[in-house]
Structure 1
Amino acid sequence: MQFEAIKPDRLYIKVANQLSQLISDGKIEPGQKFPAERELAERLGVSRPTIREAMIALELQGVIEIRTGSGIYVTRKKPRLEVRDKGIGPFEILETRMLLETEACALAAERISDEQIEKLWAAYREMEEENKKQDASEQADWKFHNIIAMACQNTAIYAVVDWLWELRNQSELHTAFSQRIRQEGVHPILEDHRTIIEALANRDAEGARQAMRKHLENATEAAATHFGQN
């Protein structure tokens, strides 16, 4: 007798499948605009980031079309009844990074070496070059955040930060979304990274904490522009 392992569905998959079923049942017609993100979140009892990730999954299947600045529309393509797991979503990862990396940055300010400050400036210059290319990777950005995690002198913190960046690369949902928003002109925000380095160089723990928080808030807001004013 064979058994299949029971895997809990990610929340965005449950939301995507419910919306897909509504489309399949004809309760949301082709060409029809979805309700606003906030309204959907309230009706379904989930967060707005979960709604965004469900919409990304549906967009990848061709079930909906996200028109930046206009809204989200049902296409004429008949949806599949099941949305498969495409990995952890970009907004969940950003939310987790917000919780961890803000405090890691404050700790790093107390322990970072002059050599690591120089490495951050080198990574910053690499980001400047990467930002000139529409299809560039985010290797320099990854390097930047890993240097800060290493400066904490705490291998557990470093391992978790590095793992979160690995999750980004392993997630089909995150990879596809990152490519799309890069094409729309969303890149790592250089000024935010400069502010972080300056706070770290001054060994200003609270300034570093706030600079990292602001950076991740800006990154979340920039990613959310893909969905328009919805």
Structure 2
Amino acid sequence: MHVPARKLYQRIAEDIAAAIADGRYRPGTRLPGERDLAEEFAVSRPTIREAMIALEIRGMVEARQGSGIYVTQAPPPAGRSPELDVGAFELNEARILFEGEAAALAATSIEDETLAALDRVLESMAGAGESPGAVDADREFHLLIAEGTGNSIVRSVVEMLWQIRESSPLCVHMFGKARREGVTPRVAEHRLIVDALRARNPQAAREAMRAHLRRVTEDLLAATEVELIERAQAEAHAQRSRIAQRASL
């Protein structure tokens, strides 16, 4: 039976977990910085961020204010971690590649009825603000463009990418954090995509879609960095409370 290959962030998370188990990084010690780890593993910072979040979810590391990421415990002896599936950065990389080309193809064949439907979705997106309806409108927007290609396989693949976003535990965690930080679909960026589609300009549609999805990646980087800071601040607050309690004895 074919065993699916592990995702890149999973392999890195497992390598770091193995280093912890082997004693290279003991509980209480600081891990190398994100940039250093990216150089060591020859991967991007988003991939390292996904690996760190996966280890945090497993309770193996934590952020400490102004200091970095520290090991909290060694991995359980049972072996590999639970499958966390696709991370948001990996998913978005695939969307940039695939949906950019889908937008270019749609620009050559999209019908006026679909453009009108996209206009209505943009109105819904603008009115939804930070409510869950904004995400629903975002999903409908991208599926309409895929449908506008006139290719059922393209439509199915884009729908699959959205299903991954809504079902992968790591994806759900990261996008949920972004929403809690107030990150919502940017209507102006979506409008630029529609403008390029209406102009029947494949290159402009491709560039607008890719620029939009790259901004999503930037938002995710910022939101997950805020999460690390918040965790560190919570730990610092708890430490101050413990010190104050001991001082009052």
Q: TM-score, normalised by structure 1?
A: 0.85
Partner residue of 2:15?
18
Partner residue of 2:111?
113
Distance 1:221 1:121 in 2: 26
Q: Is the 1:87–1:171 Cα contact (8 Å) retained in structure 2?
A: yes
Distance 2:179 2:66 in 1: 19
The residue type equivalent to 1:52 in the other structure is R
Distance 1:70 1:217 in 2: 28
Q: 1:213 aligns with which of 202, 210, 213?
A: 210
Q: 1:88 aligns with which of 86, 89, 96?
A: 86
Distance 1:72 1:137 in 2: 34
Distance 1:192 1:221 in 2: 14
Alpha-carbon displacement from aligned partner over 1:137-172 (angstroms, at most 9, x marks no partner): 722111000000000111111111111111112211
Partner residue of 1:202?
199
Q: Describe the SS at the equivalent of 2:183.
A: coil
Partner residue of 1:124?
122
The residue type equivalent to 1:76 in the other structure is T
1:137/1:75 CA distance change after superposition, 3 Å: farther
Distance 2:105 2:26 in 1: 52
- CA shift, 1:6, in A, is 3.8
Partner residue of 1:58?
55
Q: Is the 2:31–2:71 Cα contact (8 Å) retained in structure 1?
A: no
Partner residue of 2:98?
100
Q: TM-score, normalised by structure 2?
A: 0.79
Q: Which runs of 5+ in 1 are unaligned?
A: none
- CA shift, 1:188, in A, is 1.6
The percentage of aligned residue pairs carrying the same residue is 37
Distance 2:66 2:201 in 1: 42
Q: CA RMSD in A?
A: 2.7
Q: Which moved more, 1:112-121 or 1:23-32?
A: 23-32
Distance 1:173 1:195 in 2: 30
1:136-151 alignment, distance < 5 Å:
138-151=135-148
Alpha-carbon displacement from aligned partner over 1:105-148 (angstroms, at most 9, x marks no partner): 11111211121111112211222233333x66722111000000
Q: How many residues are paired up? A: 225
Q: Which of the pair is proportionally richer in helix?
A: 2
Higher RCO structure (Cα 8 Å, ≥6 apart): 1
- CA shift, 1:60, in A, is 1.4
Q: Is the 1:57–1:83 Cα contact (8 Å) retained in structure 2?
A: no
Q: Describe the SS at the equivalent of 1:13.
A: helix
Partner residue of 1:74?
70
Partner residue of 1:40?
37
Q: Which moved more, 1:22-31 or 1:52-61?
A: 22-31
Distance 1:70 1:110 in 2: 51
Q: Which runs of 5+ in 2 are unaligned?
A: 229-249
Higher alpha-carbon Rg: 2
